[in-house]
Structure 1
């Protein structure tokens, strides 16, 4: 039951949004055991002066990051092990590189976890694990 916020440059939104959405969902399903209908994504569009980031901090190579930087903030309801996280990171970056041509250094991913009672999917009710469709 992850929910993901995706920070995207405004100028790239129309061309990239659907491809990013598809790549993210496919990666979550294949690497994080997320069901197909469990899709909650929020795209935050930013203008050129709305983001401040270091182009070289832990970027992985000399070229660093560009203004195309995408930041994925994934909040999940149950923890995954390091192998699942690494698989997700690699799969998402690969899918994005193939579908939109983004430089892998321009993809940042942050995963955090919550407890089931931290979620309400509607109706003002606390989420119960028993509520997950079989």
Structure 2
């Protein structure tokens, strides 16, 4: 039930967004055991240097104008090993399907309690039952 936001620069081929989207989803299926049909993503193109900013270097990692931000909001409960595997898989997969370097893939994981989710009809399917 992750909600994924992917921000990238504009001007990429039409197939770019779909390839990056699939890369992130496949990595979540592989490392977080997300069901294949659990697919909620928001992809947004941004003007490089104006709407999408990153330092040229941070923590010894070089970034270019082609930086891609991936923010995943998901339920709590994954291990540190799963998180590390997710980050590595996303960076590798995106770099394999595009001209984006793994160093240009910035990932942020936001964990929430399951009760904080509604997938439609105003229902909270994972919230404790009201007595």
TM-score (norm 2): 0.89
5+ residue gaps, structure 2, are none
CA distance in 2, matches of 1:58, 1:98: 23
Write 1 or 2 for the structure with the bigger share of helix: 1
CA distance in 1, matches of 2:63, 2:81: 25
1:25-77 deviations in whole A, cap 9, x for unaligned? 110000001000001110121112112321112252xxx11111000000001
Write 1 or 2 for the structure with the bigger share of strand: 2
- Cα distance change of structure 1 residues 66 and 112 upon mapping to structure 2, 3 Å threshold: same
SS at 2:14 equivalent:
helix
5+ residue gaps, structure 1, are none
Listed as ranges, the matches of 1:34-49 within 5 Å are 34-48=34-48, 49=50
Aligned residues, how many? Answer: 127
Residue 10 of structure 1 deviates from its aligned partner by: 1.4
| Alignment equivalent of 1:106, drawn from 104, 107, 121 | 104
Q: Provide the alpha-carbon RMSD of the alignment.
A: 1.7
Residue 22 of structure 1 deviates from its aligned partner by: 1.0
